Structure 1
Amino acid sequence: MLVTVEALKDLGGSATIQELDEKVIELEGVTEAEQAFTMPRDENRTRVNYYLAWARTYLKRGDALNNSKRGVWALTEIGSAISDLSATQGIYGQVTQEERERARLKRLAAKKADADRGEEIEVMADDGPADEEDWKSALLSVLGKMDPAAFERLAQRLLREAGFTKVEVRGKSGDGGIDGVGVLRVNLVSFQVYFQCKRWKGVTAPLAPPA
Structure 2
Amino acid sequence: MTDKRKKSTQAEFTKWFGPLLNALRELGGSGRPKEVVEEIAKAEKIKDSQREEVVKSGILRFDNQVAWARQYLVWEGLLDNSQKGVWTLSSKGQETFLTQDDARTIFLKWVEIHQKAKKHKSSKDKIVQTQEQEEPEELDNEITPTLLEVLQSVSPIGFEHVCKRLLREHGFENVHVTQASHDGGIDGYGTLELNPFVSMKVLFQCKRYKGTVSRAQIGDFRNAMIGRADKGIILTTGTFSEDAKREASRDGAPPIELIDGKKLVKLFEKAELGVKPKIVYEVDYNFFETYMKK
Give the structure-1-normalised TM-score. Answer: 0.43
- Return the structure number with greater strand share: 1
